[in-house]
Structures are given as C-alpha cells and as structure tokens.
Structure 1
Amino acid sequence: MVNINSLDPGASPLDYYGFELRRYREAAGLTQRQLGEIVNYTGSLVGQVETARKLPTPEFSERVDAALGTGGLLSRLVPLVMRSQLPAWFQQVAELEARATQINTFHTHLFHGLLQTPAYARAVLGVLDQARLDDRTAARMARQLIFEKQEPPSFWAIISEGALLQEIGDKDVMREQLAHLLGFDDNPLINIQILPFKAGAHAGLQGSFDLYHFEHDPAIVYTEGYGGSGHPTADRGTVKKCSLRYDHLQAAALSLRDSVKLIRRVMEDRYGNQLA
C-alpha cells in the first residue's frame, strides 16, 4: 500500500493527480469522508485516488473541481493520467491521437478504439488477459475525450463489413456497439464508411492502418502487429503510399448514407434492434 505521506508527485501522472487532490482537499479543511459526501462518492474512494490506487474518472474529477474550486485542474489532468495507464508501446499513439487535426483509420475485423463502447472495449481487452480489466477499459475509453476538445479532430473510419458480423462479447454488446456507431450519423466530424464484402480485392488487404495529420508536423502512419508493439512512421514514401491506399479504400467503400443503412440492417437482422 502506498504511504500517502511519502507520495511522490513526480513518480507518475496518477501520483501527481493524487498529490494535488490531497493538497486541495486539505487546504479546504475537509476530510476524505467529508469531501466524499459533498461529491457523492465514498471517503474510501477519495482516499484510494489520493494514494494512486484508483483511477479518477472524468465525472469524479469534475465534481471535485467544482467542490474544491481548483479551476478545472483535475479534469485537465485526467487525459494525461489515463494515457499513462496505456501500455508503454501505445502511449505514443495516444499522444498522436491527442495532437492530430485529422485521423483516418482502416480496420478489418474490429472497431477502432475511438469508436468502441465500454462493453465492447472490455470484451476486446479481456481476450487472454483479465488483469486490471476495469482500469484498462477506462484508459481506452478516456482516449475518446479528444472528441470533446474545443477543436476536436476530424475522424474518418473505413471498416470492413466483417467487423459488423464478428460477434465480440455477445449480441447485447454488439447491438449496443452498432447503435453507438449509428449515433455519429449527425456528427460531421466523425464519419464511418463500411467496406462491403462485394468490394472483393481491395487496397487494404495487407491489413489495418491509421493515418494521423497535424497542423504543422508531417503526417504519420501507424500499423500494429503481434507481440504488443506498434509501428508509427513519418517516412514520406510510406505515408504517400498509405494515403493512396486510403483514397482507393474510400472509393471502394459504401457511401456514408449506405453505410448507415448496412449498419442498421445488420443490427436489426443479426442482433435485434432494441437496446437492453
């Protein structure tokens, strides 16, 4: 167990968050229990966050910021804290997501993490590894906070039809996930195209990849493989080739409107159209 009196704010973003939470609480003259009562959480949970044994949620942070008058400090720390909980090899990718002005993705067999529901993410992350599943799921979901920024990135996803049919979790999980995708229909910044089976041979047969575009820096291509490692590169030749592949994939994919129709049809026919 971490000793709160020796908590090092420089040890990690989570330790820094706990240190600041404790500092603001004590400055307000509140016990952990008293603060918990104000923000409708247990004093025990407040203590666990202060000692870096529990991840703070955005909702917890917003309530504590309001109660302690921090000026939103803790809420601003949440993305950094959550990013630090991702696998070391993926933290660089999360930073790319946070800095990008435009993200283009192509996935063949599952939905991109920025589009996943908590239940779907939990099912994906739980394959072969159940350790710290709640924290790992929370860290993945926190990546989606980039869409709540003052200037969020534009996000374009091309997804193979196979991902709609691959039952991850169970039918309830898939029904909720597909309904979640349909919820982006009116968001001009988040666009989803389905690459249908009838497209046949296509430019993405070599596998999934992501393209990150930035306001001032060169674009970066990211691919992922087995062994728990990813491969980001800014090599101009690679970026150019993948950008061309992406253009061809967009041309082969269904239109935005027809993609919505296919997602809805699969949801209704395969998983039922009523959310639990």
Structure 2
Amino acid sequence: MTALPLRSLPSGSVRQTLRTRREGPVLTVELNTPEQGNTVTDALLDDLLAVLHDQDPAVRVLVLTGSGDDFCLGGDRGEFTRHLAHDPTGGGIRLSGTKARLVCDALTSNPAVTIARVHGKAIGAGLALALACDLRVGSEDATFRLPELALGLPTAWGGLLPRLINEVGAARVRELVLTGRAFTAAEAQSLSVLQRVVPAHELDAAVADWARPVVRRPQAALRVTKTLLNSLSAASRLADVSALDAELMAAVLAESRHAHGAG
C-alpha cells in the first residue's frame, strides 16, 4: 500500500507521545514513550483524542500498538499524585478519568475497525485500551494484569469493567480483579481478551491478515455493522456505570490521601 500523509492534527504534543503511520486505508497509532513503558498520562490521552477526532473518513482500519518492550504498563501513578497535590478534592483525577472514557469510547465507536496489536505487558489502563478495540491479537509472550485493587484503586478506568465482564463473564473477571494475578496470552485467548495469539515475529502478519479483507468491505455496510455489533453488545449488559469511573477514581484517591495525610 502507498504511504499517504496524515491529515493535520489539532495543536498539541502528538509527536511526543504517539507515532502515527498511514498506509492507504490503514492508520497505525503507536504509543511512543517506551522509556516509561508507554504509561497513560494526560498528554497521551490528549494526543489520542486529537488523532481520533481528526481521523480521515477514508481510514478503514486503525491499529493501536506500543513501542519498546511493552504495549502499555497502565496509568501514571506519579501523575495521580501530582493531581491530588494540586487539588485534594480530586478535580484533576476526574478530568483525566473523563478523557480516558472518551478515548476508549472513541476506539469502540470508531467507524474504522480497530485492532489492538499487543506485545509484552498490558496492565490496567493498557488492558482497557486494548479491550476497547474490535479485534485483539497478542504475541505469545504477552501478559496481562489488573493490579488496581492492590494499589488502592477501584477498577474504574475508561469503562474497562463493563467491557471486560461483557467479553469474559462476571465470574472470571471477579477472580482476575480481586486477586490481581497476571495471566498469559494463552489464557487471555481462552477468556476472549485476545482473539488470536501468534509468535512475536508474526504480529504484523496477523494484523495484515485481518486488515486485508476489512479494507475491501463496502464502507457503509461496515459502518452500520459495527454500530449494530456495539449496540447489541451494550444491550447485553445489565448495567454500565462507566460514566461514573472518573468520580469513583477521584473519590477513592482523595479519601486515601486524606486518610494518610497530605504528606
């Protein structure tokens, strides 16, 4: 496919946290802070929102991946601490949580088919970003974990919990959340967290195998089918309180800071 230039993006620091590549109807978005394990910061969320907001309608497939050794090591706890130091009531945490939900919703409702290309570790918020995508392929050495409870946090980021329960099932999710144990790519596939597992050197080929037929589908039919799939998936949830994620995260962190003193 012939490489095409990206459309101009809203002002921001996209080149600092993301690397983007456009090949015909396929747009690859790479989390690009490998020295920090591609942790999720406000800057990264802003940049993702900018790319998704300005996405060319001609894009049929969007691939989300990470640079370096890991897909994403989760949220930046240092940034949480700084938010609380600036506003002990949790205002900064609420704003960050709202951005997280908007990013994940934008991936799920994206008119293009979204593919998560996962390698290394996908932890917490990193797992949430992958789970927001339509299709998810992981390398054989990929691992996953939900450590929030051990860190004194609720599992409330980007609508992760309702998506996970919908894909995996409540009983299995309960065990993963309460124990916080790591699980392998093979188990992730058995849980439907991943739909495919391949050797690391075959990740790009697996993505291409999915992208190739998708880009040939009639655009209107593809868009409507995605809308139907998302609507039916949402309808199968007994309750989706993900709109409260930001409030829950802020409340728990603010209470924890108060209990332990401002320090």
Specify the TM-score bucket, using the shorter chain as the normaliser: under 0.3
TM-score (norm. length: structure 2): 0.24
Which of 1 and 2 has greater Rg? 1
